[in-house]
Chain A
Amino acid sequence: MIPNANKETKKRNPRLEDIKDTLRLLIKNKLALTGLSITSFYVFFAILDIVYPQYLGVGPGIVTTLQRFTGPHISAAAVPSPPTFSNGWYYYLGTTYYNIPLLPAMFAALYNDIWDSALIVVSGAIIGIFVGTFSAYYGKLVDEVVMRITDIFFSIPFLIFAIITVTVLSRVFYQDNISIPPLTIVALSLVVIWWPTYARLTRSITLSVKSQKFIEASTASGSSRIRNIVVHVIPNVLSPVFVQISLDIGNVILLFATLAFLPLTFLGITPLTPELGSMISTADPFLLGPGWYAAVIPALFLLIFTISINLFGDGLRDVLDPKLRR
């Protein structure tokens, strides 16, 4: 009997220590911390919309149309009115077109923008991880075919391709009498064009992981290829993918808002759709008059979010990439 055989009281957990290390470095990085705190402020309001919808004063359920903020006062001829502090927090930033109060409308739009973008990036990353790791691990013909396909996606600007995908998807759904909210169509089409980024990223990492000793050992001990990929390769791929996700969310939100901003009439995005891009686009005619803030305030709101999430992603990359670690 070996003494203390079952006594593993102080076993070091390298993965946990690594995470602690990362967090410590991240907190030291002032810019990244600022980005993280502003981002979490935004995300907090987006989550609040699900768990406590009443804070927007609209009763249960998620806001799907901005009409709920105006009630009977909606009017297509209304012009933006300046901020007032006497009518409650709804009117702190004034109203925009249609008599819609700007502040709750922006919070309602935040829900759509953040959740749809997160959905796009995460599902794109999942598809990309599987395609990238499997194609790199299986190699040869599979790899060649998959990489040529991703080449195609990179040979055209994302925005153009997104416009085409949105067109086709919306008309196909319309043809089949499937009614889907226009923002969901935009999100779906962005997933279609976004996965190749992750496929390329994971492929390059998988190629370097594949030739290492622990994969060889695992193969020698009888693991199948699929088990090797799922158990050994994918965990190694995750950390760069997280960095890419944090850098990408800003881009995707921009692309999302841009698609809503462009006059894609067939899509059915109305002025009452809670989305920052379409709100800015609808307030555009007031830009050169006294109501200019109706277009500028939502855009600034969006800009602050994208800057902070980029700051955070930048800091995260500095911390997670050992080459850049100072």
Chain B
Amino acid sequence: MELKYYIIRRLLVLIPTLLGLLLLTFIMLNALPQSYLIQQFIPQKVLSSAQRQADTQLAINTLGLNRPLPVQFLIYVNSIIHGNWGFMYPNASGGTSFYTGPVLAGIFEYFPVTLEIAIFAVIFSIILAIPLGTYIGSKPNSVSDQVGRVFSLSGYAMPTFFLALLLQLIASPYFPSYIYGQGYPKNVQYSFIQNGVSQPTHMLVFDALLNGHFSLALSAFGHLILPVIALSYGLLAGLLRFIRAGMVDASNQEYVKTARAKGVPEKQVLKKHVRKNALLPSITVFGLVFSSLLGGVVVIEEVYRINGLGRFGISTVSGGYIQFFGILGTTLFFGIVLVLANLIVDVLYALMDPRIRY
């Protein structure tokens, strides 16, 4: 079957999965009392009881809360398809709320920040993992192999928040202004506005580069260094382990023996025969690790106080209100990102390895 049809089929399978995810979250949230939801629609100011009654009735009618659960779900899905992902309301207690407004707009405002960190983390770990993995994998059971093994194990075992705190502690005497994404994107964003830099992507580094402001890009990138290192550690460990296993696996193959026997220099054997075949399966590790990468983003953003999608998600549950639509929207969006990432990994693998046909 052609790749095109494979992609289409996979995309079609994604729809019930995402709907199921939405339904699961919906059912869970349904366990909460309805008054939690309705009180968000009633203004904080003291109203007459008749006005309050009317507002409550309006909310119930709009959301279909007096109809059976499946109908409520269908109403919600219908509005999702039409681009209305609901609203997030100000806190009841009068405290400052993280975000107020339409959920979809909020997600698109905060997601680029998260995406930027994830992109740099992926690039960083790939750049480090390929040479290191090749080196370790070419000498199985040596001292460097054991060191690499313990390193990759510590990558699985490391609490993300500890690594983030540790990096802060180490960097604080030398780069005190870069240990927080503190004010990031705020501080940097101000200088963006001052310099009249347009923001087509909402990712600060890329925006500054697109406008040719290298000093701004450097400053924005400086705030990203610690979060990126903290985030990429787990990914790096996973990649290293996979590449090492692939190297050991590939160097036992017949074609490598043939290459050595016909007198190809060792460097060429490692580069052309072993490494190329070892790197292929390690693409799949992205599919495995991407989930924990997205989870790690939540912690990293909390430690470095970066206002991204992770903090957005936490703010939906930990404010004065439970932001029903915020929770549902964030869940759905994380689900979409994760399943699409998995799909891209699979398609890349199929593109790079011509033996795989679907």
Complex: chain B residue closest to A289, CB-CB = B172
Which secondary structure dominates where chain B touches chain A?
Answer: helix
Q: Which of A124-174 contact B (CB under 8 A)?
A: 148-149, 151-152, 154-161, 163-165, 167-168, 171-172
Instruction: Determine whether the beta carbon of A160 is less than 8 Å from that of B313.
Output: yes
User: Shortest Cβ distance from B210 into chain A, in angstroms?
Assistant: 30
Instruction: Determine whether the beta carbon of A156 is less than 8 Å from that of B21.
Output: yes
A156-B331 CB under 8 A given contacts A171-B36, A302-B162: yes
Q: Which of B60-102 contact A (CB under 8 A)?
A: none
Instruction: Determine whether the beta carbon of A280 is less than 8 Å from that of B331.
Output: no
A258, B295: Cα distance in complex, Å: 10
B166 within 8 A of A: yes
User: Shortest Cβ distance from B303 into chain A, in angstroms?
Assistant: 8
Q: Which of B135-170 contact A (CB under 8 A)?
A: 149-150, 153-154, 156-162, 165-166, 168-169
Mark B308-345 against chain A: 1 for CB-CB distance below 8 A, else 0. 00000110011000100001001100110011000000
Instruction: Determine whether the beta carbon of A288 is less than 8 Å from that of B299.
Output: no
Query: Which of A262, A263, A300 has its CB near the most chain B CB atoms (within 10 A)?
Result: A262
A292-B169 CB under 8 A given contacts A168-B32, A306-B159: yes
Instruction: Determine whether the beta carbon of A159 is less than 8 Å from that of B156.
Output: no
A159, B16: Cα distance in complex, Å: 22
Number of residues on chain B facing chain A (CB within 8 A): 50
Residues of B within 8 A of A155 (CB): 17-18, 21, 335, 338-339
Number of residues on chain A facing chain B (CB within 8 A): 51
B126 within 8 A of A: no
A168-B165 CB under 8 A given contacts A160-B313, A310-B157: no
User: Shortest Cβ distance from A247 into chain B, in angstroms?
Assistant: 9
Complex: chain B residue closest to A264, CB-CB = B318
A262-B302 CB under 8 A given contacts A156-B21, A157-B291, A160-B330: yes
Instruction: Determine whether the beta carbon of A151 is less than 8 Å from that of B17.
Output: yes
Contact of A167 among B18, B159, B172, B317 (CB under 8 A): B317
A77, B197: Cα distance in complex, Å: 45
User: Shortest Cβ distance from B296 into chain A, in angstroms?
Assistant: 8
Residues of A within 8 A of B159 (CB): 254, 257-258, 261, 277, 299, 302-303, 306
Q: Which of B163-203 contact A (CB under 8 A)?
A: 165-166, 168-169, 172, 179
Complex: chain B residue closest to A300, CB-CB = B162
Query: Which of A152, A263, A303 has its CB near the most chain B CB atoms (within 10 A)?
Result: A152
A19 within 8 A of B: no
A165, B31: Cα distance in complex, Å: 11
Contact of B317 among A264, A296, A299 (CB under 8 A): A264
A261-B318 CB under 8 A given contacts A156-B21, A157-B292: no
A258, B314: Cα distance in complex, Å: 13
Complex: chain B residue closest to A265, CB-CB = B318
Instruction: Determine whether the beta carbon of B331 is less than 8 Å from that of A159.
Output: no
A262, B161: Cα distance in complex, Å: 9
Instruction: Determine whether the beta carbon of A148 is less than 8 Å from that of B17.
Output: yes
User: Shortest Cβ distance from B237 into chain A, in angstroms?
Assistant: 11
User: Shortest Cβ distance from B17 into chain A, in angstroms?
Assistant: 5
Instruction: Determine whether the beta carbon of B165 is less than 8 Å from that of A175.
Output: no
Complex: chain A residue closest to B159, CB-CB = A254
Query: Which of A159, A288, A292, A303 has its CB near the most chain B CB atoms (within 10 A)?
Result: A159
Mark B1-40 against chain A: 1 for CB-CB distance below 8 A, else 0. 0000000000000001110110011001101110010000
A80 within 8 A of B: no
Instruction: Determine whether the beta carbon of B169 is less than 8 Å from that of A296.
Output: yes
A55 within 8 A of B: no
A262-B157 CB under 8 A given contacts A160-B334, A164-B28, A175-B32: no
User: Shortest Cβ distance from A42 into chain B, in angstroms?
Assistant: 13
A307 within 8 A of B: yes
A296-B165 CB under 8 A given contacts A148-B16, A167-B317, A264-B314: yes
User: Shortest Cβ distance from B334 into chain A, in angstroms?
Assistant: 5
Contact of B169 among A151, A250, A287, A311 (CB under 8 A): A287
Residues of A within 8 A of B335 (CB): 155-156
Residues of B within 8 A of A168 (CB): 28-29, 31-32
Residues of B within 8 A of A251 (CB): 156
B347 within 8 A of A: no
Residues of B within 8 A of A288 (CB): 168-169, 172, 179
User: Shortest Cβ distance from A92 into chain B, in angstroms?
Assistant: 21
A280, B161: Cα distance in complex, Å: 9
Contact of A157 among B16, B154, B294 (CB under 8 A): B294
A31, B172: Cα distance in complex, Å: 35
A159-B322 CB under 8 A given contacts A148-B16, A258-B159, A288-B169: no
Instruction: Determine whether the beta carbon of A284 is less than 8 Å from that of B165.
Output: yes
Residues of B within 8 A of A165 (CB): 28
B279 within 8 A of A: no
Complex: chain B residue closest to A309, CB-CB = B157
A265, B298: Cα distance in complex, Å: 16
Complex: chain B residue closest to A162, CB-CB = B295
Instruction: Determine whether the beta carbon of A160 is less than 8 Å from that of B322.
Output: no
Residues of A within 8 A of B16 (CB): 148
Q: Which of A285-308 contact B (CB under 8 A)?
A: 287-288, 292, 295-296, 299-300, 302-303, 306-307
Residues of B within 8 A of A263 (CB): 302, 314, 318
Instruction: Show 29 A/B contacts (Cβ-Cβ < 8 Å), sorted by A.
Output: A149-B20, A156-B334, A157-B294, A157-B338, A160-B295, A160-B298, A160-B331, A161-B331, A165-B28, A168-B28, A171-B36, A172-B31, A172-B32, A175-B32, A175-B33, A254-B157, A254-B159, A261-B299, A262-B302, A277-B159, A284-B165, A287-B165, A299-B165, A302-B159, A302-B162, A303-B162, A307-B157, A309-B157, A310-B156
Starting from the known contacts A151-B17, A163-B298, A307-B154, 6 additional A-B residue pairs (CB-CB under 8 Å) come to A157-B334, A158-B291, A158-B295, A167-B317, A258-B160, A303-B159
Name B residues whose Cβ lies closer than 8 Å to a Cβ of A: 16-18, 20-21, 24-25, 28-29, 31-33, 36, 149-150, 153-154, 156-162, 165-166, 168-169, 172, 179, 291-292, 294-296, 298-299, 302, 313-314, 317-318, 322, 327, 330-331, 334-335, 338-339
